């Protein structure tokens, strides 16, 4: 499937100075002082291209802080006028779009709960018809590439060409290290489907904690993302939303100074860039392989305890025959040689037996 988009390259956006485009600011606008102070400190770093702040906050539970609403748009306008930073806020319906545009907000972003909803996306697209602005579309909360692409298409068809995608991770029922699972293969697939779309990473919402922001940002840079959206608050301990993942402007500076940016400067380096990007993809898949193996072995451990309790032997040849047969056939259909499948599965099986052995004799 080829998807026709009309997209303005990010290097032609007026906000863009160099990679990465930096979109920073608090999760939420809370008070005028908090907003102005954070913006002042961020502007001083000289590294921030766009100032973000949520005015209307989509909160899971009704009693959480739901944003200051329209009032905050005046403060954002002051940030723009007095500090000179272009501004960005989240919109989730036509009314938000109209209000934000009225107050001169430069960039509208669509949150993960909204991009998952085609009705809301269409309503926003209709409100944007014929408007010249910049729209960033976060991935939907669920890992559905088509839904993300569909949201981007709707906005683009309204005539918005200054458009970008923001990778903020995917929610999962299981407890994971990060707040949201990055599932890096999804944004990689998005770029395969829409090579022209500028791609940003939001390490704050992926990680959910300050200590993860650097490593996620570095990975995004190694995958050649165009920009980063990072939550920054002048006093994170007092933040009314997403307290644990916001960094002070100073910490943001420190983190950015450690980021390694691999830029193409000559033909040779261009080659190395592509190579690094591909290798980063390999690293991601290898990590996934290890995670899967860990999960497989933990099931083997459970089976070990179960067999022990029921006095059953570890090795059951018929079961092993069945596994290796199925894997050989399936592997062949995926272009994997019989020799490789045999080696791989024998090694995995052996490790599984070792695990069970340990359990049964413990």
Q: Quick one: which of 168, 183, 191, 210 contacts ligand PEP (CB under 6 A)? A: 168
> Would you report the helix, strand and coil content of the chain in percent, each value rounded to 5?
55, 10, 35
Extract the tokens encoding 319: 């079961």
132 Cβ partners below 8 Å, 6+ apart? 160, 162
For ligand PEP, the nearest residue by Cβ is 111
Distance CA 213, CA 28 (A): 18
Which residues 260-319 are close enough to bind ligand PEP by CB under 6 A?
Answer: none
**Are the C-beta atoms of 349 and 319 separated by less than 8 Å?**
no
For residue 266, the SS3 value is coil
CA distance to 226, 228, 293, per residue, from 20 (Å) = 5, 6, 35
| Residue 112, binding choice from ligand PEP, Mn ion, none, Cβ under 5 to 8 Å by partner class | ligand PEP
Q: Which is nearer to Mn ion, 88 or 314 (CB)?
A: 88
Distance CA 351, CA 355 (A): 6
140 belongs to the binding site for ligand PEP (CB under 6 A): no
128 belongs to the binding site for Mn ion (CB under 5 A): no
Q: Which is nearer to ligand PEP, 54 or 86 (CB)?
A: 54
Which residues 11-50 are close enough to bind ligand PEP by CB under 6 A?
Answer: 27
* Other Cβ atoms closer than 10 A to 15: 18
Q: Which is nearer to ligand PEP, 243 or 262 (CB)?
A: 243
CA distance to 42, 163, 175, 250, per residue, from 220 (Å) = 21, 19, 23, 21
Q: Which is nearer to Mn ion, 30 or 242 (CB)?
A: 242
153 belongs to the binding site for Mn ion (CB under 5 A): no
| Residue 73, binding choice from ligand PEP, Mn ion, none, Cβ under 5 to 8 Å by partner class | none
30 belongs to the binding site for Mn ion (CB under 5 A): no
* Other Cβ atoms closer than 10 A to 146: 10
Number of residues interacting with ligand PEP: please give it, by CB under 6 A.
8
Q: Which is nearer to Mn ion, 182 or 304 (CB)?
A: 182
Q: Which is nearer to ligand PEP, 179 or 219 (CB)?
A: 179
242 belongs to the binding site for Mn ion (CB under 5 A): yes
Binding site for Mn ion (CB under 5 A): 27, 242
Binding site for ligand PEP (CB under 6 A): 27, 54, 58, 111-112, 138, 168, 205
């Amino acid at each position: 499937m080829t998807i026709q988009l009309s997209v303005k390259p990010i290097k032609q956006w007026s906000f863009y100075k160099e990679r990465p485009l930096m979109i920073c600011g608090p999760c939420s606008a809370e008070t005028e002082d908090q907003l102005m102070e954070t913006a002042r400190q961020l502007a001083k770093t000289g590294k921030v291209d766009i100032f973000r702040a949520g005015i209307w906050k989509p909160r899971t539970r009704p009693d959480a802080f739901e944003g200051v609403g329209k009032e905050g748009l005046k403060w954002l306008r002051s940030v723009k006028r007095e500090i000179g930073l272009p501004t960005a806020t989240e919109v989730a319906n036509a009314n938000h779009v109209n209000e934000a545009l009225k107050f001169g907000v430069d960039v509208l972003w669509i949150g993960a709960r909204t991009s998952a909803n085609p009705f809301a996306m269409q309503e926003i697209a209709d409100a944007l018809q014929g408007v010249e602005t910049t729209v960033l579309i976060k991935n939907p909360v669920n890992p559905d590439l088509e839904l993300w692409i569909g949201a981007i298409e709707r906005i683009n068809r309204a005539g918005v060409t200054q458009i970008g995608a923001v990778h903020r991770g995917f929610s999962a029922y299981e407890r994971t290290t990060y707040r949201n699972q990055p599932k890096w293969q999804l944004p990689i697939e998005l770029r395969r489907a829409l090579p022209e779309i500028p791609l940003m990473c939001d390490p704050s919402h992926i990680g959910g904690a300050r200590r993860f922001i650097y490593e996620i940002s570095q990975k995004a840079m190694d995958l050649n993302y165009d920009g980063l959206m990072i939550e920054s608050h002048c006093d994170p301990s007092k933040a009314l939303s997403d307290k644990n993942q916001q960094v002070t402007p100073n910490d943001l500076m420190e983190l950015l100074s450690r980021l390694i940016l691999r830029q193409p400067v000559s033909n040779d380096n261009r080659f190395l860039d592509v190579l690094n990007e591909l290798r980063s993809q390999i690293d991601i898949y290898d990590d996934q392989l290890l995670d899967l193996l860990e999960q497989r072995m933990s099931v083997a451990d459970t089976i070990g305890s179960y067999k022990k309790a029921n006095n059953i032997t570890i090795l059951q040849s018929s079961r092993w025959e069945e596994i290796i047969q199925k894997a050989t056939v399936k592997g062949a259909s995926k272009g994997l040689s019989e020799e490789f499948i045999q080696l791989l599965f024998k090694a995995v099986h052996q490790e599984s037996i070792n695990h069970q052995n340990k359990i049964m004799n413990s």
